[in-house]
């Protein structure tokens, strides 16, 4: 479909622009990095422990252990619970592959439960029928920045004596009934990938928990399983958070609530301006505080809209074009198309629009008007 917008009126709208955030706090970030360079304490320097303490306080958990990525946060949580060969872990098929890859790399089998069409999070009422004697954990994913419905999930887990690992990679700062994401299960796992609401300068992650015993085990597992040095009672991985990342994240953590509030404001503006259009805007569940890591609409002619937006210099993305139960590397699980219909429909209809704290009203209006342009053409 060709664009009805003239070349002179086109502007460039990125999906996310990390440079704007950096420019706003450049002196703080540069100073923090310079402190690490001056100390040369690149591995587990004092800033790592400082950040862990600050993060635990922010998330209302007793412990927070800095690790090398959100993926490794999930893997280490699974390993600490001794989940592996022959075990099953229930999770959502509509998530980034790291959720599933962590289960598989721990040696366990992922078992998928379909999603709610409104929130895109796992459906709690379908979980229990998937539980058997091999089930060891549930990993609910707080997708796009909105918490899954945790109370029924926690109730089911308690009833069957299985663990809950929150995949909160997209949801730092989100709340469920006034409880912070990552604080409700046995573990909360976070990612500091640069584009996340709290992003580092590369990979990084965090494991949050309230158990002294499990926290101590995660500390060991992230350094190959060693304690004391050169003695290895358990087999771990090289999964530490770099000092430079911690130093930057300390500074950024002070802004996270402001940034999340700006994301909510930008999301509210999109939703208000597009409420009369023939598409579905994000549904915020009334007991949740959404942090809008992504702003995701749903539209029937999704792929044609993508073409139209990109023709008009607007970045957009599909998260996620293939639900995880249909990934080629998981074909051995023998899921087939039609098994999880809501996740499959979402994969064909959802589209992420540009959103970040610094996006301007002019940019948002351009996105909105370009979508209106598309819908007016497609309806004629």
Is 300 designated active site? no
CA–CA distance, 303 with 298 (Å, rounded to integer): 11
DSSP string, 304-325: HHHHHHHHTTB--B-S-SS-GG
> Which token pair is 164?
């809950």
Residue 115 bridge partners (DSSP): 122
Give the contacts of 188 (CB within 8 A, at least 6 positions apart). 59, 61, 165, 166, 168, 181, 182, 207, 208, 209
CA torsion 366→256→59→163, rounded to 10°?
Answer: 40
Q: Would you tell me the crossing angle of helices 46-59 and 243-253 to the nearest 10 degrees? A: 40
What's the half-sphere exposure (Cβ side, CA atoms, 13 Å) at 194?
9
Exposure b/e, 109-135, CB count within 10 A at least 16 = b: bbbbbbbbbebbbbbbebbeeebeeeb
CA–CA distance, 243 with 249 (Å, rounded to integer): 10
Catalytic residue among 79, 136, 163, 196: 196
Give the catalytic positions in this structure: 196
């Amino acid at each position: 479909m060709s664009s009805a917008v003239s070349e002179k009126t086109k502007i460039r709208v990125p999906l996310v622009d990390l440079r704007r955030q950096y420019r706003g706090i450049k002196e703080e970030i540069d100073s923090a990095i310079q402190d690490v360079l001056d100390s040369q304490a690149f591995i587990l320097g004092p800033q790592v422990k400082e950040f862990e303490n600050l993060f635990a306080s922010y998330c209302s958990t007793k412990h927070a252990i800095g690790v090398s990525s959100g993926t490794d946060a999930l893997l280490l949580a699974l390993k600490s619970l001794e989940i592996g060969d022959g075990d099953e872990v229930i999770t959502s098929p509509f998530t980034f592959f790291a959720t599933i890859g962590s289960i598989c790399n721990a040696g366990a089998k992922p078992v998928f439960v379909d999603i709610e069409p409104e929130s895109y999070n796992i459906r709690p009422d379908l979980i229990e029928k998937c539980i058997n004697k091999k089930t060891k954990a549930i990993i609910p994913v707080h997708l796009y920045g909105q918490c899954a419905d945790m109370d029924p999930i926690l109730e089911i887990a308690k009833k069957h004596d299985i663990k809950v690992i929150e995949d909160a990679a997209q949801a730092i700062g989100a709340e469920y009934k006034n409880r912070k994401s990552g604080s409700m299960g046995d573990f909360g796992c976070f990612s500091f990938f640069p584009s996340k609401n709290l992003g580092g300068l590369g990979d990084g992650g965090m494991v949050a928990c309230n158990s002294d015993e499990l926290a101590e085990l995660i500390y060991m597992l992230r350094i190959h399983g060693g304690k004391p040095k050169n003695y290895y009672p358990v087999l771990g991985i090289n999964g530490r958070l770099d000092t430079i990342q911690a130093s930057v994240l300390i500074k950024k953590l002070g802004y996270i609530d402001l940034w999340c509030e700006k994301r909510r404001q930008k999301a509210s503006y999109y939703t208000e301006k597009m409420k009369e259009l023939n598409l579905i805007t994000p549904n915020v569940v009334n007991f949740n505080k959404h942090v809008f890591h992504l702003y995701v609409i749903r539209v029937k002619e999704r792929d044609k809209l993508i073409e139209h937006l990109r023709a008009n210099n607007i970045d957009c993305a599909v998260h996620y074009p293939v639900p995880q139960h249909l990934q080629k590397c998981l074909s051995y699980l023998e899921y087939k198309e039609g098994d999880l219909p809501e996740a499959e429909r979402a994969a064909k209809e959802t589209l992420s629009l540009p959103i970040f704290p610094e996006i301007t009203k002019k940019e948002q209006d351009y996105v909105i008007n370009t979508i209106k342009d598309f819908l007016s053409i497609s309806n004629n």
